[in-house]
Structures are given as structure tokens and as C-alpha cells.
Structure 1
Amino acid sequence: MQPRIPRQSPRDRAAHGPGDVPGLGAEATAALAAARRRALRDGDRQVDTAHLLHSLLEHDPLVRAAFGGGPQLARLLGYLVQRSIGYGLRWQSGVEDSGAPPAVTAVEGLSPLAAAAIERACEESARRTGAPARGVDLLAAMVADPRARAVEVLTHVGVDPYALRAGIEDGLQEREGCLEGGSPAC
């Protein structure tokens, strides 16, 4: 009987990298670890932004709240589950790529766009608040690139990635005002 989860070779373990990424908060780190497991289980060579989106939705209540719940969130989760059980097999053979020359990143085992989104989320969060990047920071960074698979997934289920990003950024600015004591609504 074959095991349900394929065994990792040493090369696969090295390619998927360590669990901790400097600058990521607890929710985002948990989602990254889950995305790595999902990619491995699905037989994908790299973690892409769709893997990260799926894991963020599972692990971070603030990310789920960014979608407002309801039928749109249910459609999105349903599509992501279909993808993880084989619907998205057309993506397995390719690498999510920005088309830019490959860059050396601190995050191993990720598609170039996923690695760039993590780096952008960490930089923006550090600049804005000095705190580690949260799941919503990572979501905002992922949907900023129209070539990301997460954007393709969102568009497929009827979510406007630009409106989602704008809503996230408005929420982040509002929370930043609360941290500084600048808003009476806090």
C-alpha cells in the first residue's frame, strides 16, 4: 500500500526551506508552514501564492474577515479545495514566475512571486509599524501583483483583487491610527 503523503527526499526537504522567516508574524509563519505542507502533498515543486492564500484563509481570522464572509468566501474556499484535490493540476508543471531575472531570496522553496510577496509584506510592515508582517500584510502583498496565482484564483471566484487590497490597506491604516492613539473609534 502506498503512503498517502509522498516521502520527502533530502533534496525536497532542502528545497522547501526552514519554517521561520525573519519578519513574519505568528499567523503568517503558520500559514507558510501549512502552504509548504500543502505544496509537498500536492506534488508541486514550489509554494505559490495560491498555496499561501489557501493557508492564510485556514489559519488567520483577520484574512477571512478581509473577505467579509458569506457566499464569496465559501466560493473561494471551495475553489481552493478543488484545486488542492486535483482541479488545479495544470499549474503543477509550471512555476509561478514574474518573468524577471531570478533573484536570490532568503525564502527557499517558494515561487518567485510568493517569495517577493513575503519580502514585500515584511518590508512594508516593518516600515509602517515596526512589527512583524501579519497574514493580512501578506495577503495585501500577494494581490498587488496581477500575475500572481492568488489573483487568478480570486478573479476566478469573482473577488476583485484591487478592491480587496484597498480594503486591507484602509484597515491597516485605521489600525495604525489606533496604535498611535489618533482615532477616537479605537
Structure 2
Amino acid sequence: MQPRIPRQPAGDQAGALAGNDAGLGAELVAVLAGARRRALRDGDRQIDTAHLLHSLLESDPEVCAAFEGEAQVARLLGYLVQRSIGYGLRWQGRVEDSGAVPVVSGVDGYSPLASAALEHARARAVRFGDGPPRCLDLLAGVLADPQARAVEVLSRAGIDARELFLRVEGLRGRSGEYAEWGEAGC
């Protein structure tokens, strides 16, 4: 029996995805590598925002600190783990897209919303002028579109993504940027 989703060999996908890592610091390159491994392990064709969120939580204590305590992070990680064995299976074979812009395949193996989250992180880092994007910048990008799979997972875990976005913005000393909520991109 043929798999429902054709898989790319891990080596080929890793090489293709490396181009989108340009200009990122070592911490975000590690996060993207973790998300890439998770997508391959889950049998997903593209890295989506839920993969990015999961990898951010596992990799960066600053991201975990943005949440309301360890219990909230543990509950969220529980939902993210279930993704590969339960409700996340309905996402397989579908492109993560908010519908706000014409569907295009993701850049270098990323879903359109994951690509937008990376661009949001880059733009946010430029605005703050303090070097390459950090994990909190990517977290803000992941939260920027309410149609993102990561936002759906947050909602299932009882976490208000809009409130989290505002908290992340406060951690960087900036507010008011959440006006983009509901709009695609950054």
C-alpha cells in the first residue's frame, strides 16, 4: 500500500530547507532543524506553525517564560505531542494557509503561514535593531495569524493566542503591533 503522502528523503528535504535559514542566529537555526525533524517524523510534507511552536517550546527557555507557568507549557506540549497520534492527522496532506492570500506552496518546504512567520520574525528583529531574529521573534510570527495551526493548538490547550502575542510584545518592550491580528502576513 502506498503512503497517502509522498515523503521526501530526509537528506533532500534538509538541503532544500537550509536556504530559508540564511540570516538567522544559531538558536533559530536549531529551532528550525527541530521543526524539520518533527515534520519528517510526523509524515508531514511541510513544516507548519505547530511544528515551529513545538520546537520553540522545547528549545528556548525565554519562549517558555512567555507563558503563564509550567503547567500551561506542559498542557500545551501534551497537545502538540498528540498531533502526530491523534487530531493532527486531519492536517496531513493539506497546506496550512489562512485563506487571506492566494494559496502558494510554502517556501523551501515550509507552509505559507510558517514562511510568513519566519518573515515576520526577520522584520521584527530589524525593527528592534538588535541582531538576527530571536526565538521570541519567531513566536510572535507564529501567533500573527489566527488561522495558524499553532493558534488552533493553543486554543485547544486553553491559551488565548492574542493575549500571548501581547505578552510577547511586552517582553521586547513594544506594544500595539497586534493590530495585525486577523490579517495574513506581517
Q: Shorter chain as normaliser: what TM range?
A: 0.7 to 0.9
CA contact (8 A) 1:31 1:55 kept: yes
- Counterpart position of 1:69: 69
Count of paired positions: 168
Cα distance in structure 2, aligned partners of 1:104 and 1:23: 22
- Per the TM alignment, residue 8 of structure 1 is displaced from its structure 2 partner at its CA by 4.5
CA contact (8 A) 1:26 1:134 kept: no
Cα distance in structure 2, aligned partners of 1:137 and 1:7: 30
- Counterpart position of 1:43: 43
- Counterpart position of 2:82: 82
Cα distance in structure 2, aligned partners of 1:152 and 1:10: 27
Cα distance in structure 2, aligned partners of 1:124 and 1:50: 20
Question: Matched residues, percent identical?
Answer: 60
- Counterpart position of 2:3: none
Q: CA RMSD in A?
A: 2.5
Cα distance in structure 2, aligned partners of 1:89 and 1:104: 20
Letter aligned with residue 77 of structure 1: L
Larger mean Cα displacement after TM superposition, 68-77 or 43-52: 68-77
Alpha-carbon spacing, 1:48–1:16, altered in 2? closer, same or farther (3 Å): farther
Instruction: Give structure 1 regions of 4+ aligned residues with deviation exceeding 4 angstroms.
Output: 102-105
Alpha-carbon spacing, 1:15–1:84, altered in 2? closer, same or farther (3 Å): farther
CA contact (8 A) 2:121 2:133 kept: yes
Cα distance in structure 2, aligned partners of 1:153 and 1:65: 18
Check if 1:141 corresponds to 2:134: no
The secondary structure found in structure 2 opposite 1:37 is: helix
Cα distance in structure 1, aligned partners of 2:42 and 2:16: 13
Length-normalised TM-score, structure 1: 0.81
CA contact (8 A) 2:20 2:108 kept: no
- Counterpart position of 1:59: 59
The secondary structure found in structure 1 opposite 2:97 is: coil
Length-normalised TM-score, structure 2: 0.81
Alpha-carbon spacing, 1:15–1:95, altered in 2? closer, same or farther (3 Å): farther
- Counterpart position of 1:152: 152
5+ residue gaps in structure 2? 1-5, 175-186
5+ residue gaps in structure 1? 1-5, 175-186
Cα distance in structure 1, aligned partners of 2:67 and 2:109: 28
Q: Which has the larger radius of gyration?
A: 1
Cα distance in structure 2, aligned partners of 1:78 and 1:10: 26
- Counterpart position of 1:172: 172
Alpha-carbon spacing, 1:170–1:54, altered in 2? closer, same or farther (3 Å): same
The secondary structure found in structure 2 opposite 1:17 is: helix
- Per the TM alignment, residue 104 of structure 1 is displaced from its structure 2 partner at its CA by 8.2
Cα distance in structure 1, aligned partners of 2:85 and 2:133: 29
